[in-house]
Amino acid sequence: MPRVVVIGGGPAGLAAAHRLLELSPGLEVTLFERSSRLGGMIATTVEDGFVIERGPESVIREKPAALALAERVGVLDRAISTRPGGGALVACRGRLVPIPEGFSLLAPTNPKALARSGVVSRVGAIRAAVERFFGAKERDDVSVARFVREHFGSEVLERLAQPIVSGIYGGDPERIGLAATLPRFLDMEKRGSVIRALEAAGQAADASARGARYSLFVSFDEGLEVLTRAVASRVLDRAVLGRAVTSLSRSAGGFEIGFEGGATQRADAVVVAAPGPVAGRLVQPFDRTLAGHLLGIEHGSAAAVTLVYREDRIPPLERFGFVVPAIEGRPILAATYSSVKWPGRAPKGYALVRAFLGGERFEGLPYEGDETLVALARHELRELARIEVAPERALVDRFLHAMPRYAPGHLARLADVRRRLAAVPGLFLAGTALDGVGVPDAIRTGEQAASDALQFLSSR
Ligand SMILES: Cc1cc2nc3c(=O)[nH]c(=O)nc-3n(C[C@H](O)[C@H](O)[C@H](O)COP(=O)(O)OP(=O)(O)OC[C@H]3O[C@@H](n4cnc5c(N)ncnc54)[C@H](O)[C@@H]3O)c2cc1C
């Protein structure tokens, strides 16, 4: 029986191992995970009536891989939607104001609401509204910042698009390419005005959202780890924890996997589902350019400080939280009011707030000690959200070099990665270094790598 080794037990590696066994139950599959637990960055602490996310908090409904997997592992009935209401605030000259109605990631669809919001000046609002008269344009790729500046002007970029995009893609929109992150905006541009395209798409999306079973973002009653735990329970007997893979090389008709201390193991096919920098080092013996592509992807860092408050001691928390533009010059990137956004995250009478610190101007921050980070989060929440009291409890999580940033031209790099991988039969890559930065992307690439590996084995 052929043997497949999966490297990394995050959502990508778990999805790969699970899919291999789903499609070929008798297959010899071994998953090696460096840490002592499965789930990768997905981790939830459930205690004393609190459900506290220590990594990602939700999956987007529009990318179906995560919820489809949840259904297959029997936890879809535990999926939960965000509470009604919603929306977020944005920091504007030291105050929190609602993100203007109709603002969609990069683009204002409601120029009147933008003008009324005060987030941009009157001139800035008129500049954005003029986009409605833009003609069609065709290009392969452009930075997110340049695209927004050209379509809607600098104020929309600096005050709205930047904090929203940086929150998702972990970096400065000047260095993030549109084609690999939000290609639909390039498609809209090919037809003319983005505002007009979004207006048309908005009507269609409203119609489909009305019938949707879940909100745009979905989690589970006891957090996102419900999903990875359910998958992990199905592959647990194939998983080796606390075992980092340190090298990969060719061996007679297959691969030799090396571990710390010199131990090795043989495999017929390998799915590398470890983060990009690790994958880059592992594939170096096969193709240095391929390795260079993976090692060349920049990764951003951040810290999250989760704070528990007594609800009656803080001002009412408005909406689901806030984002902070870099132009505000603050070390806080965003905050999520988890207990407002999701049902069941805190016991009655308590509020759960998660503040994200870091950003390109504060790259060193996530390396600071817990006390400094908690003090900084409290300072920022005092100034922006008027939360004066000390929290009942504070937890700190760090994400070092954890958020891949797809630079302009990423798709060309990806195409070359695929070409070069095809020249190493039996080696497959999964995870977010390549093709989508979220959990559903990680799951999709893991499942794809599993089917590719099976196809390879059956064609030998
Ligand atoms: C702060 C933050 C918030 C986020 N929020 C969201 C969100 O709300 N929704 C969303 O969809 N996405 C979110 N993401 C992105 C999400 O975390 C990733 O998409 C997802 O974790 C990627 O899964 P993965 O399996 O590719 O990598 P990981 O989750 O990083 O897992 C990789 C695994 O490989 C293991 N490993 C590393 N090296 C080795 C080795 N040498 N040998 C063996 N094992 C190894 C690691 O220990 C780890 O378990 C967020 C990310 C961050 C940093």
Confidence of residue 171 (pLDDT cuts 50, 70, 90): confident
pLDDT, tens only, 391-447? 999 999 999 999 999 999 999 999 999 999 999 999 999 999 888 899 999 999 999
Please identify, among 210, 243, 264, the residue that sits at the C-terminal boundary of a domain. 210
pLDDT at residue 164 tops 90: yes
Task: Determine the distance separating the centroid of ligand 1 and the alpha carbon of 40, expressed in angstroms.
Answer: 5
pLDDT above 70 coverage of the chain, percent: 98
Residues of the domain holding 107 = 100-210
In the reported structure, the alpha carbon of residue 41 is separated from the centroid of ligand 1 by a whole-number distance in angstroms of 4
Is 256 in the same domain as 388?
no
Q: What tokens were used for 383?
A: 């100034």
What CATH number should be reported for the domain holding residue 317? 3.90.660.20
Specify the pLDDT at position 360.
81
Does residue 273 have its Cβ closer than 6 Å to ligand 1?
yes
pLDDT, one tens digit per residue, over 342-383 is 999 999 999 999 999 998 889 899 999 999 999 999 999 999
Q: Do 205 and 124 belong to one domain?
A: yes
Number of domains in the chain: 3
For 13-51, what is each residue's pLDDT tens digit? 999 999 999 999 999 999 999 999 999 999 999 999 999
Summarised one tens digit per residue, pLDDT across range 184-220 is 999 999 999 999 999 888 766 666 666 678 898 999 9
Over residues 71-80, mean pLDDT? 98
- Asked if the structure places residue 81 within a domain, the reply is no
> Where does a domain end: 210, 244, 275?
210
Q: Are residues 122 and 184 in the same domain?
A: yes
Question: Using CA positions, which residue lies closest to atom 7 of ligand 1?
Answer: 56
Residue 343 sits in the same domain as residue 201: no
Within a domain: residue 79?
no
The answer to whether residue 256 sits within a structural domain is yes
Please give the distance, rounded to the nearest whole angstrom, from the Cα atom of residue 228 to the centre of ligand 1. Answer: 12
What is the model's pLDDT at position 204? 62
Q: What pLDDT, in 10s, does the model give residues 226-257?
A: 999 999 999 999 999 999 999 999 998 899 99
Q: Which of 302, 322, 303 is nearest to 387 (CA)?
A: 322
* Cα gap 326→432, rounded to integer Å: 25
What does the alpha-carbon distance between residue 40 and residue 33 come to, in Å, rounded to a whole number?
9
331 shares its domain with 343: yes
- Shared-domain flag, residues 24 and 151: no
Domain boundary among 152, 179, 210: 210
Please report whether residue 90 resides in a domain. Answer: no
CATH of the domain at 195: 1.10.3110.10
SS3 347: coil
Residue 317 shares a structural domain with residue 270: no
In a domain, 83, yes or no: no
What's the CATH number where 275 sits? 3.50.50.60
- Residues 378, 422 within the same domain: no
User: Which pLDDT score, from 0 to 100, does residue 168 have?
Assistant: 86
Q: Please give the single-letter amino acid code of residue 87.
A: G
d(CA 91, CA 97): 6
For the entire predicted model, the pTM comes to: 0.95
Asked whether residue 76 is assigned to any structural domain, the reply reads no
pLDDT at 177 over 70: yes
Confidence of residue 53 (pLDDT cuts 50, 70, 90): very high
147 and 171, same structural domain? yes
Query: What is the percent of the chain where pLDDT is above 90?
Result: 88
181 in any annotated domain: yes
Residues 206 and 105 in one domain: yes
Does residue 348 belong to any structural domain of this protein?
yes
CA angle 8, 438, 435 (to 5 degrees): 80
Same domain for 373 and 349, yes or no, is yes
The answer on 385 and 324 residing in a single domain is: yes
Predicted confidence (pLDDT) at residue 157 exceeds the cutoff of 90: yes
Write the residue with the smallest CA distance to atom 49 of ligand 1. 40
3 state SS of 338: helix
- Burial grade of 205 (CB within 10 A; 0-12, 13-18, 19 or more): middle
Ligand 1 geometric centre to CA of 439 (Å) = 8
* Mean pLDDT across the chain: 95
Is the CB of 43 inside a 6 Å radius of any atom of ligand 1? no
